[in-house]
Structure 1
């Protein structure tokens, strides 16, 4: 049975997240699920780049526009995109757009289509936090908009949208439990955690000689976004404590801050720590280059602050480290704890610098333990967190919906 989705994106085009590019762009396509993407063009990309998509057509209306006007225009642009609905489309799917989701639900009911919603993040809670962060310096209009959005988003999403869609995809079992507590039937939800594209992580892929910076060093590695908001100073404190017993330790940071102010903060934090000679900050790298560096690491670090926004998330780093055969030390975010405990390929500890340091030292100082952890990661990820495996459960939901 071939199925066609009309998929409205929260992110600007072209798609870049692996749970879109790999899951929908490659794996679901191979299972007969085609996807037409709809959205706005990223300000940094051309229209030609935005329309590069292997699993169907791309429909664009509007371009990225920051500020209050951009926030107001996006759902209006999406209304125009909904006119792209054709008889070939079996399912309308919206990702992380609450206002657009409500509009799409109305269109689905009027046209007899099935409607699914992809919840990758608790945006209603995120809007509340954002409203608290917007100060008077950003103007009265901005303050009013963000406060109104925070006030109404939760009501609209939890009462009017999520319980009424035909199916809700969530990121983790913890998020599923959270949405069930909001009144959404468990039978109408499927947890689809962040996965791994095994083609990128296969042995022999992304291999480079050991860089001079890492020669003679025990390497603690972190790949991803850095900054004050992510409490990245925690990584420096872990390194400081590890070096008390393992003075050859170095911290490889394969990533950077998502904004200019966060990038400046990261560099100043490294200088202020007194550990600049033992930290290698690469800046943003193509994924293949970042993975090639991680193959020279001894431990992968995945500290994620606890709280309502992240407790329901599905962290990518732990699965990626394990797919590389890199022992992971991570804290007890529910989905990450599940990955580390079920795979037995890493150590799960509290979000405490000394606990992280002690776990790292266990791996660095016990060759048998390190070898055991390295061996267990890749097969577990292949069986449980590859997008090839995840695609089958997602495809089964679409087929069930279309048959009903």
Structure 2
């Protein structure tokens, strides 16, 4: 492999989700391939997937599922396991074709450890910061311990320090990179996670998906402690028990470590007939539910993480012309604008009232859906982000 070919080989490391299931990472891969780069990916292995495969010009190297451990050592064990597996997979990629750049996508913020041998061999590090891990930790626990938080800050700081370029998902994250990360402005590029309006497009409704309810609410996304799915369930409980409505159903699409507790909460509140948990669904099934629903729910409560994070589900609702009900968070307003109504943060009864007010106004819902779709097509679509993303690598390779 020539020096020029090595410079134009990018290896992307992601631990949070398999590729192409991680939509942001997969869109980044395809953007680089379209721009003439060779792209490899190191990621966890999805169910039934091979250890290595080539998909749409991307070489994917995977590692097996994290083995079960006790909760007391879960985080440390998972970090150690992901580092070791990532290191071994990177070595496999390097033996096949050395790469000039390695992009780490957090969480976690310890993947830089696995890249050190390759940085010593000349590879440069790009930090694609999907989450603020210290804030993520604070948002998941009512009484977070100080030592783990400091360790997360240190891991983030080391990633900033080693990274030649930082990719931030929004302006709030960019400010963190400039201040806490002490990066120079020319080393930090905002690349928003934008939906694909050609793939996410409203189709014909499927009345049977309403399960007999005149109105249908939908949630899509990860179900972690910080994602507010419990808020959506409690808001529905208020609608049913206090407001006396029995004509509204809810479909929850996705999965996560909070899902078992959310199912228990639904049963405890007596809402099993109103709430459907689908788990993760194929794209076509998602399209059908989204095309049938009346409102998209973004119930993320206000905390140090959510207030400055861009919620992918909000933009997906907008792509499907669904009006959104959300809490009034900084980056949620940036994304949704007039396509959402905003409740005072963390006030469940007000959130429930916003849902009912919106269901009562067909014309307003249609107008908000139109606004959301136009924003996606003109401003938020992934294609509008590709020049900034590919530009990071063009500068690194001096194209």
Shared fold by TM > 0.5?
Answer: yes
Q: Secondary structure at the match of 2:216?
A: strand
Matching residue of 1:152: 151
How many equivalent pairs are there? 382
Distance 2:388 2:366 in 1: 32
Range with bigger deviation, 293-302 or 84-93: 84-93
Could you say if the C-alpha distance between residues 360 and 254 of structure 1 is closer, same or farther in structure 2, counting changes exceeding 3 Å?
A: same
Matching residue of 1:299: 295
Matching residue of 2:230: 233
Q: Indicate if the aligned counterparts of 2:233 and 2:266 stay in contact, CA closer than 8 A.
A: yes
Q: Which runs of 5+ in 2 are unaligned?
A: none
Could you say if the C-alpha distance between residues 279 and 75 of structure 1 is closer, same or farther in structure 2, counting changes exceeding 3 Å?
A: closer
Match of 2:343 among 338, 349, 358: 349
Matching residue of 1:251: 249
Q: CA deviation at 1:327?
A: 0.6
Q: Indicate if the aligned counterparts of 1:250 and 1:279 stay in contact, CA closer than 8 A.
A: no
Q: Indicate if the aligned counterparts of 1:12 and 1:64 stay in contact, CA closer than 8 A.
A: no
Could you say if the C-alpha distance between residues 246 and 324 of structure 1 is closer, same or farther in structure 2, counting changes exceeding 3 Å?
A: farther
Q: Secondary structure at the match of 1:201?
A: coil
The C-alpha deviation readout for 1:187-215, integer Å capped at 9, x for no partner, is: 211222322122322344xx453116444
1:199 aligns with 2:195: no
Counterparts of 1:303-314 in structure 2 under 5 Å? 303-314=299-310
Could you say if the C-alpha distance between residues 345 and 129 of structure 1 is closer, same or farther in structure 2, counting changes exceeding 3 Å?
A: closer
1:162 aligns with 2:160: yes
Counterparts of 1:90-109 in structure 2 under 5 Å? 90-96=100-106, 97-104=108-115, 107-108=118-119
Q: CA deviation at 1:18?
A: 0.4
Root-mean-square deviation (CA, aligned residues, Å) is 3.3
Counterparts of 1:245-394 in structure 2 under 5 Å? 247=245, 249-255=247-253, 257-259=255-257, 262-341=258-337, 344-351=338-345, 352-394=347-389
Match of 1:122 among 132, 143, 151: 132
Range with bigger deviation, 394-403 or 89-98: 89-98
Distance 1:66 1:246 in 2: 44
Q: CA deviation at 1:371?
A: 1.9
Could you say if the C-alpha distance between residues 363 and 63 of structure 1 is closer, same or farther in structure 2, counting changes exceeding 3 Å?
A: closer
Counterparts of 1:54-65 in structure 2 under 5 Å? 54-60=56-62, 64-65=66-67
Could you say if the C-alpha distance between residues 339 and 114 of structure 1 is closer, same or farther in structure 2, counting changes exceeding 3 Å?
A: same
Could you say if the C-alpha distance between residues 40 and 242 of structure 1 is closer, same or farther in structure 2, counting changes exceeding 3 Å?
A: closer
Q: CA deviation at 1:17?
A: 0.9
Q: Which runs of 5+ in 1 are unaligned?
A: 135-145
Could you say if the C-alpha distance between residues 229 and 316 of structure 1 is closer, same or farther in structure 2, counting changes exceeding 3 Å?
A: closer
Q: CA deviation at 1:271?
A: 2.8
Could you say if the C-alpha distance between residues 166 and 364 of structure 1 is closer, same or farther in structure 2, counting changes exceeding 3 Å?
A: same
Q: CA deviation at 1:338?
A: 0.7
Could you say if the C-alpha distance between residues 268 and 398 of structure 1 is closer, same or farther in structure 2, counting changes exceeding 3 Å?
A: same
Could you say if the C-alpha distance between residues 263 and 241 of structure 1 is closer, same or farther in structure 2, counting changes exceeding 3 Å?
A: closer
Distance 1:357 1:126 in 2: 26
